[in-house]
Amino acid sequence: MATFLFDKIIFGPVKSRRLGVSLGVNLLPNDSKVCNYNCIYCECGWSDYTEKRALPKAVDVKHALDNFLSKAKKENNPPDVITFAGNGEPTLHPEFVQIINDTIELRDKYFPQIKIVVLTNATNLHKPEISSALKKIEMPILKIDTMIQKDYEFLNRPHQNVKIKDIADAIIKNFKNPIIQTMFVKANTPGRNFDNTTQESLKKYFDILKKIEPSLVMVYTISRATPMQGLEKCEPECLDKIAKQIETLGYETLVSY
């Protein structure tokens, strides 16, 4: 059962744990989640693979964003960021590149100072047009939760045969000093126990950070209901310890409890 879905193209602004006042943009359906992951912790619930869903058109996204930003301009009330998140993976939208170009145009027209953010699982970075579009914005935030393949498959549940090493390699190839976001969580389920804060998991994780050389690592844990039962959030002390280890490597961190 879905835990939480965004029911409009434009939502918020909302107070984000990591981004300040964030104006959300949902490029996916407003009544179901569409993603090539099925993360056991996702606040939007389980991905729906049963039928092809209609997505908002680029022209509709541009119109909705234009309406909001023009009103915000008149009221002198800009958000801190425009964030592509919503009910799934935004880069799956077939008009993603056009939408990014439209968003840059509108941002520059109304509020040149605010940043554009895309929260992405980074599975489409092998597509040159997607990587190029993400390089145009200020904050592409790329996900790596674990570098252990069997843990990746349990935690993120990719819809197709995906290797986390291939995703990491695509990040290294296409981005210099990107932002990495990582969900730390524990699970005690009938299927198996899970913990990506173990010494083994963290060693592989720190090793890939050294190769990626991120400008920022966003460390966080679950804060809302999850579709899978038996998940446990990591305590603040645990997140702080991980963040300090990352900072010892020379990378800035942002921790959200």
How far apart, in whole angstroms, are the C-alpha atoms of residue 224 and residue 50?
Answer: 25
Count the residues in the chain.
257
From 3.90.180.10, 3.20.20.70, 3.40.50.970, 3.30.1490.190, which CATH number describes the 10-256 domain? Answer: 3.20.20.70
Residue bearing the bigger pLDDT, 92 or 18: 92
Cα angle vertex 5, ends 180, 155, to 5°? 45
Note whether 81 and 114 are within 8 A (CB): yes
pLDDT given for residue 3 in this prediction: 61
Which of 110, 87, 103 has its CA nearest to residue 31? 87
Q: Which two structure tokens, joined as six digits, stand for 126?
A: 């092998």
Residues 6+ apart with CB under 8 A from 121: 35, 36, 37, 89, 142, 143, 156, 167
- Look at the block and give the residue holding tokens 């049963």: 50
Residue 141 β-bridge partners: 119, 179
Q: Where are the beta strands (DSSP E) in 130-250?
A: 139-143, 179-183, 185-188, 193-195, 216-220, 231-233
Residues 6 or more apart whose Cβ sits within 8 Å of residue 227: 1, 2, 3, 40, 41, 42, 45, 46
SS (H, E, C) 215-229: CEEEEECCCCCCCCC
Beta carbons within 8 Å of 162's beta carbon, 6+ residues apart:
36, 123
Domain boundaries, the chain: 10-256
pLDDT, tens only, 27-54 = 999 888 999 999 999 999 998 777 788 8
Residue 22: its H or E element = strand 20-25
Phi-psi region of 122 (alpha: psi -120 to 50; beta: other; left: phi over 0): left
| Model pLDDT for residues 72-128, shown as the tens digit of each residue | 999 999 999 999 999 999 999 999 999 999 999 999 999 999 999 999 999 999 999
Q: Where are the beta strands (DSSP E) in 56-178?
A: 81-84, 115-120, 139-143
Q: From CA 123, how far away is CA 190, in angstroms rounded?
A: 29
| pLDDT tens, residue by residue, 152-201 | 999 999 998 999 999 999 999 999 999 999 999 999 987 789 999 999 99
pTM summary value? 0.94
CB neighbour class for 138 (10 Å; exposed up to 12, middle 13-18, buried from 19): middle
